[in-house]
Amino acid sequence: MTESSVEFAKLELALAEARGIILGLPEHDVASRLHELKLKSYVLLCHAAIEEYLERVSLAVLSRSLVAFEADRCVRDPLLAACSFYKIVLMNEVTSRSAGDHLHDVFLAVFRRAIAEHRKAVDENHGVKTKDQDALFLPIGVRLFDFDRLLSQSLNSFGTLRGEFAHGFGIRTVAPKAGQESKVRNILNLVLIFDNFLCERHGINLEN
């Protein structure tokens, strides 16, 4: 059975904790303003958890690829993709280091710089919509929309919903508890498939 990552386990826990805010609410009705506010808060908490997962898992792919390179000196695709995306120039790194350094050390410095650039991009990320997906996963060689269009579109829709709730205090909740939980559950199921793919392809379920 394909294993999932530590990041996915943390996502499951965060979503379970977020669900606590809507315990006891009617399944198919928004009966009061308080119920509405709780549902909006639930969406905001779930969005934050999913956003954090996407950020952490993209970094995990690069970190695991670097650990593997240090162990066997085989270059993984995510490292090459990150160097290309962030335009890390190998020759610049070579000329800045002593002539006695091994090529392995030069590559290591280049890959670490690419990861540092990606960490900056992660720190600047604020969302789960298409542009955010591209900012997080194109640098590791994955276009989420191409991998799973339904997941990409579901995240995009959820990001839009979060924006409406965060910036439009008077906007009423469209879906009651059952509807909101269904959205989150569907996203989680799709994310698991993506996580399994990353674990199988890049070994992010392994201990660094």
Q: pTM score, two decimals?
A: 0.92
Residue 25 lies in a domain: yes
Residue 96 lies in a domain: yes
Residue 89 lies in a domain: yes
Q: What is the largest CA-CA distance in the chain?
A: 73
Give the count of domains, the chain: 1
Range of the domain at 149: 6-202
Q: Are 130 and 152 in contact (CB under 8 A)?
A: yes
Residue 147 lies in a domain: yes
Q: Report the alpha-carbon angle 140-141-145, nearest 5.
A: 110
> Using one digit for the tens of pLDDT, what is the confidence trace for 53-102?
999 999 999 999 999 999 999 999 999 999 999 999 765 655 555 444 57
Better pLDDT: 174 or 53: 53
Better pLDDT: 133 or 109: 133
- Report how far residue 50's alpha carbon sits from residue 45's, in angstroms, rounded to the nearest whole number: 9
Residue 207 lies in a domain: no
> Using one digit for the tens of pLDDT, what is the confidence trace for 11-42?
999 999 999 999 999 999 998 999 999 999 99
Task: Out of 82-91, 116-125, 142-151, pick the least confident.
Answer: 82-91
Tokens for 135, please give them. 């900012």
